[in-house]
């Protein structure tokens, strides 16, 4: 309830794809009145029908429940939220700028363009998008200059750490809440908004704006570093006959290290880690902090080498010849549990192999539509078995449970050449070998 009016808080969520759809549904679940603002007509229609614009387990029922109850609705018309909300959350995209490593802040700026002229009364605007440190102060200057309410518009930054495929749970039960605020009133308002997870034990870090911005970039840079670290150890394992999965298990039992983000594989992808790492390096450069760039440049390079390494291994397993070879790629999403193909290692590897001249056929349980859109020249098959017909090599690049459940003996009957490259290191090697496959997994003996 809003203290002033004893009505439920009114929350506007601007930009409602991965981050914003979860945020809007989560805010409705917390008991608030929510309007989501989305400029993409297709997503807007889906959302108003109570459907997520993306594959995210558990999100559809949550959206449907609150759209049907009238607590949650979506619009493209900013006039519906002008002076309406107690809190405005900015959840638009901050992709990598074309031709640069910097973050593209055009969507954030477009929100200010459209929202600022509509704010005539004091209010709180909270950024949740991932931005380079220093952005929130620039956003604040623009609101103060362009909103009729002037300095009555207060800015806070509250980075979000949700993982795709766990978006609903991470939104409702966050590991931690980071409130980058400039006043006790803003902190109190955010504590009111997040009263439910706080009451359930989510810790809160209250800090200034640059700290909040840095926490998010720092968290993703650290996760990327951990993944590249274990991938570098996978190369050591290959060179020495060790098993990188057992190595990760043993390292992970040390509480100071932890097992998270220690799965070796084709490297990290997605709409966050790759571009956030690069934006972090770019901003470090602008701030003159060269050691951050030196450290993280190698993290990015190791990540790229994983993809190249899988292509090289495929070439080797095909006998050094691409021409006339059929390669099956199992997986298109950047990880299991999502239909997101942004910077997906699976599609990148598929595209590189196709460029070398092999015939590549891709199958993914959820990401086929998105994959076809971004890589229309690849072949696609409706099942894993169909994708494997006449294959000279099968590549396991996204760790969907359905691939682990494949029967290697059945699949053996579909292929030309029983070679499987388990880039995700989670197929049952013994079962595949027993069925007559040549099984290779980078980092495992
Ligand atoms: N994807 C994640 O899991 C995740 C998690 C935490 C943080 N983030 C960060 O959150 C932000 C959003 O990520 P995303 O993956 O949801 O991005 P996205 O690009 O998938 O979605 C952004 C949405 O905003 C809409 N939009 C753009 N400009 C708009 C405007 N002016 N008004 C209204 N809507 C507008 C777009 O149409 C799109 O639907 C990014 O900064 C990202 O780094 C993402
Ligand atoms: O041990 C691991 C863990 C992940 N990955 C890969 O790393 C990438 C990112 O995975 P994950 O972190 O699970 O996915 P995202 O949904 O992109 O989430 C990250 O990016 C979000 C957007 O910033 C943050 O909110 C999250 O906290 C952060 O985990 C994917 O390609 C994974 O396959 C590995 O290779 N090994």
pLDDT digits (tens, 9 = 90+) for 267-317: 999 999 999 999 999 999 999 999 999 999 999 999 999 999 999 999 999
Q: Decide if 44 is inside a domain.
A: yes
* 199 and 260 fall within a common domain: no
Identify the burial level of 250 via C-beta atoms within 10 angstroms of its C-beta, where 0-12 means exposed, 13-18 middle and 19 or more buried. exposed
Closest alpha carbon to 96 in 148, 138, 132: 132
Q: Decide if 376 is inside a domain.
A: yes
Return the residue whose CA atom lies nearest to atom 24 of ligand 1: 15
180: left (phi over 0), alpha (psi -120 to 50) or beta: beta
For residue 290, give the H/E element and its range.
helix 290-317
Does the annotation place 189 within a ligand binding site? no
* 197 and 255 fall within a common domain: no
- Helix, strand, or coil (residue 270): coil
Whether 91 sits among the annotated catalytic residues: the reply is: no
* 259 and 358 fall within a common domain: yes
Residue 5: its pLDDT value, please?
62
Tens of pLDDT, residue by residue over 99-132, are 999 999 999 999 999 999 999 999 999 999 999 9
* 190 and 247 fall within a common domain: no
Residue 412: its pLDDT value, please?
97
Residue 1: its pLDDT value, please?
52
Contact 54, 18 (CB under 8 A): yes
The active-site residue out of 272, 313, 349, 441 is 272
Residue 171, pLDDT > 60, answer: yes
- Helix, strand, or coil (residue 344): coil
* 314 and 398 fall within a common domain: yes
Report the CATH number at residue 264.
3.40.50.720
Tens of pLDDT, residue by residue over 337-392, are 999 999 999 999 999 999 999 999 999 999 999 999 999 999 999 999 999 999 99
* 135 and 279 fall within a common domain: no
Residue 3, pLDDT > 60, answer: no
* Domain interval for residue 110: 10-207
Q: Which ligand is in closest contact with the Cα of 348? A: 2
Residue 343: its pLDDT value, please?
97
337: left (phi over 0), alpha (psi -120 to 50) or beta: left
Tens of pLDDT, residue by residue over 137-168, are 999 999 999 999 999 999 999 999 999 999 99
6 confidence band (pLDDT: 50, 70, 90): confident
421 bridge partner residues: 395, 440
Contact 68, 51 (CB under 8 A): no
Which of 12, 14, 17 has most ligand 1 atoms within 8 Å of CB, for mutation?
17
Tens of pLDDT, residue by residue over 63-105, are 999 999 999 999 999 999 999 999 999 999 999 999 999 999 9
Q: How far is the CA of 19 from the centre of ligand 2 (A)?
A: 14
Q: Decide if 327 is inside a domain.
A: yes
- Helix, strand, or coil (residue 437): coil
* 310 and 443 fall within a common domain: yes
Instruction: Name the domain boundary from 155, 188, 207.
Output: 207
Q: Decide if 5 is inside a domain.
A: no
Q: Decide if 289 is inside a domain.
A: yes
Q: What contacts 147, CB < 8 A, 6 or more positions away?
A: 115, 116, 117, 118, 119, 120, 153
Q: Please tell me if the CB atom of residue 171 comes closer than 6 angstroms to any atom of ligand 1.
A: no
In whole numbers, what is the pLDDT of the chain averaged over residues?
A: 97
ipTM of this predicted complex?
0.99
Contact 436, 399 (CB under 8 A): no
* 246 and 166 fall within a common domain: no
* 81 and 124 fall within a common domain: yes
Name the domain count of the chain: 2
Q: Which ligand is in closest contact with the Cα of 222? A: 2
Q: Decide if 4 is inside a domain.
A: no
Instruction: Name the domain boundary from 191, 207, 223.
Output: 207
* 175 and 263 fall within a common domain: no
Tens of pLDDT, residue by residue over 188-247, are 999 999 999 999 999 999 999 999 999 999 999 999 999 999 999 999 999 999 999 999
């Amino acid at each position: 309830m809003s203290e002033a009016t004893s009505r439920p808080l009114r929350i506007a969520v601007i930009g409602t794809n991965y981050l914003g759809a979860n945020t809007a549904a989560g805010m409705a679940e917390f008991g608030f009145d929510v309007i989501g603002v989305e400029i993409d007509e297709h997503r807007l229609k889906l959302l108003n029908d109570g459907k997520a614009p993306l594959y995210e387990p558990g999100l559809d029922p949550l959206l449907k429940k609150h759209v049907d109850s009238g607590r949650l609705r979506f619009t493209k018309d900013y006039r519906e939220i002008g002076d309406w909300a107690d809190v405005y959350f900015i959840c638009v995209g901050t992709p990598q700028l074309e031709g640069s490593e910097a973050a593209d802040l055009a969507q954030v700026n477009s929100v200010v363009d459209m929202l600022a002229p509509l704010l005539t009364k004091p209010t709180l605007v909270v950024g949740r998008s991932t931005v380079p440190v220093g952005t929130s102060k620039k956003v604040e200057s623009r609101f103060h200059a362009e909103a009729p309410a002037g300095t009555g518009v207060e800015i806070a930054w509250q980075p979000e750490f949700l993982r795709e495929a766990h978006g609903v749970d991470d939104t409702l039960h966050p590991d931690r809440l980071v409130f980058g605020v400039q006043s006790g009133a803003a902190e109190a308002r955010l504590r009111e908004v997040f009263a439910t997870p706080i009451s359930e034990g989510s810790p809160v870090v209250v800090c200034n704006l640059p700290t909040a911005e840095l926490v998010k970039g720092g968290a993703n840079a650290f996760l990327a570093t951990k993944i590249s670290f274990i991938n570098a150890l996978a190369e050591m394992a290959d060179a020495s006959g060790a098993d990188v999965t057992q190595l990760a298990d043993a390292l992970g039992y040390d509480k100071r290290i932890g097992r998270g983000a220690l799965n070796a594989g084709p490297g990290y992808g997605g709409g966050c880690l790759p571009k956030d790492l690069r934006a972090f390096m770019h901003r470090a450069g602008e701030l003159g902090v060269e050691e951050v760039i030196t450290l993280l440049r190698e993290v990015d390079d190791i990540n790229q080498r994983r993809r190249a390494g899988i292509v090289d291994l495929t070439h080797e397993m095909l006998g050094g010849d691409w021409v006339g070879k059929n390669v099956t790629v199992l997986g298109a999403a950047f990880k299991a549990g999502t239909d997101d193909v942004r910077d997906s290692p699976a599609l990148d590897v598929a595209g590189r192999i196709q460029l070398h001249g092999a015939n590549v056929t891709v199958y993914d349980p959820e990401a086929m539509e998105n994959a076809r859109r971004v890589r229309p020249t690849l072949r696609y098959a409706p099942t894993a078995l169909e994708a494997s017909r006449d294959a000279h090599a099968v590549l396991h690049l996204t760790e969907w449970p359905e691939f682990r459940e494949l029967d290697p003996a059945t699949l053996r009957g579909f292929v030309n050449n029983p070679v499987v490259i388990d880039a995700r290191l989670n197929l049952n090697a013994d079962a595949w070998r027993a069925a007559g496959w040549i099984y290779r997994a980078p980092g495992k003996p």
